[in-house]
Structure 1
Amino acid sequence: MASELHSDMSSAKAERIRAKRQQHAPDEHELDLFLNAPSISNDALASAGADASPAEVNGQVERSRCNGEADEQEFRGSAKTGALLPGMVLLKGFLSPQQQQELVNDAQRLGLAEGGFYKPTYASGAKCRLHQMCFGRHWNVVTEQYESHRSNFDGAPAPSLPDSWRLHAQRSLDAATAIDKQVLGTCQSATPDICVVNFYKKAGRNGMHIDKDESAEAMAMGSPVISFSIGCAAEFAYIDHYPEPHEAVPIVRLESGDVLVFGGPSRNVVHALTRVYSGTQPDWLHMRAGRLNLTFREFRPSEVAGS
């Protein structure tokens, strides 16, 4: 009797494992499609007329056309360029279509190289609902620390941060600082040297958390985080404390080309990606459906590192 019960339990466990693998299979397929999608040249993008900003045409805001049908649920959290909180600035449509396509092309190429995209697994064994790769330093989801090599997966060294990406991040930070100087915290300046790249498909999520694993100096000085959104629109929840159950949390809708910068008094903001809207990817963007997110930060403020 005991052996039969053990056999039944083993069969049930095996079935759960098979079901979980089947559940993740489409997600892996979507990443494969993203990585192997043919890239488009900058000349082709410009000739298609996509080198004008999607956020403004003839002085009026224009809603970008999308691939496929958008979710039926009404979009929430629309916002304009400006401060969302002290030290937290949203730059709507800041990245041009050409810049976005260049970043996508780079991510496709680098995602297939050593240290490219992988699906992180927490210490509990649960898999993240995204694919990730890191530049400058690798962020280990198990130890929640930065390291030079990807010790929680394949031991690959963290690739260097591309210079062109660093320039985009610096330009974004300068624009955000012009709106609210508090984004720099007590830093005189900031030079991003880390980038964490996440690719989400329709079911992708990232729960409430604080970006708190940079150096103690970076956290104490409020060194900023710079976040790029490319592809499908998403809901970004943010609040200055961990919310109580059923507590209302502000939501902002991040669209392709938007940049979010938070530092200073907002450096410890609690935030989450709560939803990706399928069918909202701009039709000029040559990328498989999903959301590509690049977040830049400085591990240790330069004025401290140089002292």
Structure 2
Amino acid sequence: MDEGGRGGFSNSRARGRINSSRRGSPHSHESVMDEGGRGRFSNSRARGRINSSRQGSPQSHESVMDERGRGGFSNSRARGHIDSSRQGSPHFHESVSSHKESIFKKDGPSSTASGNDDKPSQIGEPKNGQSLQDKVVVDSCRLESSSGFDICLIPKRSPVKLNASLLAKNKEKRKQLECSKDGPKSYELRSGMVLLKNFIKLRDQVEIIRKCRELGIGSGGFYQPEFYQPGNMDGTKMHLQMMCLGKNWDPERKLYVDRRPFDDAKPPSIPVDFKHLVEEAIQISRSFINNSSNDVEHMLPKMSPDICIVNFYTNSGKLGLHQDRDESKESISKGLPVVSFSLGDSAEFLYGVNRIVDQAEKVILESGDVLVFGGESRLIFHGVPCILPKTAPRLLVDETNLRPGRLNLTFRQY
């Protein structure tokens, strides 16, 4: 024993053994324990095993456990199997299932075992000859391509959920109660253009978002449209996600068609509840105008919506100044109004008689606001230069998991 209490060999028989091993002596060498208590082999039989495995020796090598308790192979039979498999050895090779692979493991017999080799592969069941990793990639692409943009976030599985404070919830509830008690406040921004503040109740906002989410991830749902400008044939992606209801609006050809040209999808129908809200908003706007003018039919005609464009703006979303003039000539000439719903984060809204941004008027549209413009204002230029982040009602976000951004629905009659 040396001064540290460790076992060591004196210049003795051990050295003779080591030297003899180099000369091919059959003497075996015992393993020793190092300072950390781990088993290791001295210049010994282990090295002989490792070397013999490289030469095709059938000697087996035991697996050892590392410090964290995981099974690992020493320079051993496992390596011999791998090397032999490359040389066409008939040895059977065991597979070790990882934690990630266990997620996709299914109970019961496989399709191959039951003789259903031609059965379509389900998610988590790789086809014959297909690796699990390749199967996961294919399934992810298939799922992504088969559904539209989801305006709601998928809740994260967490044992702790941070909800809005009781003070914040009570504040929003009081605000909603005051709005429902007094009714929506109406403002005439210009002739034929009326803003109804807080018109859509919170529970109706929740239902609109849920319905748009349901329609948006299905056939004919949300997508990011392109528009083309003279001299630019590559197309430019719009800074929003769009879905059409009733009829499809083609931003390239500037017209309405029955189906989307790029996937032949038919637009979903406008939900009946949406139509009722539109008709109610028009009626309230007409009543407000009638108090100051007797020419309400000319200033703001009635309208029964049969088309709707649903846009979702993320925090970086925007839309330049433009006119809504792709409806029928009859609809435009009569000045049938456009009705716009705002939900989620607030947005700056510009409107004016031309495309010059500096000359446009600005108003903030908040969640629950409805803007109606028809008559003389039917062809007003309007746009959304920016979204105001983190301005959506907390109760609305908690109820719907709506993504950060603004959901906008614009109804018209073709």
Please, what TM-score do these two structures have when normalized by structure 1? 0.72
Counterpart for residue 82 of structure 1: 187
More deviation, 51-60/289-298: 51-60
State the AA in 2 paired with 1:132: M
2:197 to 88, 92, 97: 92
- 1:282 to 2:387 alignment: no
- 1:122 to 2:227 alignment: yes
Does the 8 A contact of 2:240 with 2:314 survive in 1?
A: yes
* Mapped partners of 2:271, 2:286: distance in 1: 23
Closer, same or farther: CA 37–171 of 1 in aligned 2, 3 Å: farther
Deviation at 1:189, TM superposition (A): 2.7
State the AA in 1 paired with 2:176: P
State the AA in 1 paired with 2:386: R
Counterpart for residue 362 of structure 2: 251
The equivalences for 1:178-217 within 5 A come to 178-180=287-289, 185=298, 189-217=302-330
Does the 8 A contact of 1:183 with 1:224 survive in 2?
A: no
Counterpart for residue 54 of structure 1: 176
What SS does the corresponding residue of 1:160 show, helix, strand or coil? coil
- 1:142 to 2:142 alignment: no
Structure number with greater CO (CA < 8 Å, separation at least 6) is 1
* Mapped partners of 2:385, 2:301: distance in 1: 33
2:280 to 171, 178, 187: 171
* Mapped partners of 1:218, 1:189: distance in 2: 11
Structure 1: 4+ residue segments shifted above 3 A: 35-38, 48-53, 57-61, 181-188
Closer, same or farther: CA 183–276 of 1 in aligned 2, 3 Å: farther
Counterpart for residue 133 of structure 1: 243
* Mapped partners of 1:222, 1:201: distance in 2: 31
State the AA in 1 paired with 2:378: R
Does the 8 A contact of 1:196 with 1:294 survive in 2?
A: yes
1:111 to 216, 225, 231: 216
Closer, same or farther: CA 58–195 of 1 in aligned 2, 3 Å: closer
1:159 to 253, 257, 268: 268
C-alpha deviations, 1:202-233, integer Å up to 9, x for none? Answer: 00000010000000001111000000000000
* Mapped partners of 1:34, 1:249: distance in 2: 30
Closer, same or farther: CA 118–33 of 1 in aligned 2, 3 Å: closer
Deviation at 1:54, TM superposition (A): 2.6
Deviation at 1:188, TM superposition (A): 5.6
More deviation, 166-175/181-190: 181-190
What SS does the corresponding residue of 1:165 show, helix, strand or coil? helix
What SS does the corresponding residue of 2:263 show, helix, strand or coil? coil
Closer, same or farther: CA 184–129 of 1 in aligned 2, 3 Å: farther
Deviation at 1:34, TM superposition (A): 2.5
What SS does the corresponding residue of 1:173 show, helix, strand or coil? helix
Deviation at 1:177, TM superposition (A): 1.1
In structure 1, the gaps of 5 or more residues are 1-30, 39-47, 62-79, 300-307
Deviation at 1:180, TM superposition (A): 1.9
* Mapped partners of 2:208, 2:254: distance in 1: 26
What SS does the corresponding residue of 1:168 show, helix, strand or coil? helix
- 1:298 to 2:383 alignment: no
Does the 8 A contact of 2:352 with 2:359 survive in 1?
A: no
State the AA in 1 paired with 2:276: L
2:352 to 233, 239, 243: 239
Deviation at 1:271, TM superposition (A): 0.5
Deviation at 1:36, TM superposition (A): 5.0
Closer, same or farther: CA 130–298 of 1 in aligned 2, 3 Å: same
2:151 to 21, 34, 48: 34
Please, what TM-score do these two structures have when normalized by structure 2? 0.54
Larger Rg: 2
Deviation at 1:185, TM superposition (A): 3.8
State the AA in 2 paired with 1:114: S
* Mapped partners of 1:254, 1:122: distance in 2: 26
Deviation at 1:255, TM superposition (A): 0.2
State the AA in 2 paired with 1:111: G
Does the 8 A contact of 1:94 with 1:259 survive in 2?
A: yes
* Mapped partners of 1:183, 1:229: distance in 2: 25
More deviation, 187-196/205-214: 187-196
Does the 8 A contact of 1:37 with 1:288 survive in 2?
A: no
Closer, same or farther: CA 186–96 of 1 in aligned 2, 3 Å: closer
* Mapped partners of 2:243, 2:150: distance in 1: 17
State the AA in 2 paired with 1:219: I
What SS does the corresponding residue of 1:213 show, helix, strand or coil? coil
Counterpart for residue 20 of structure 1: none
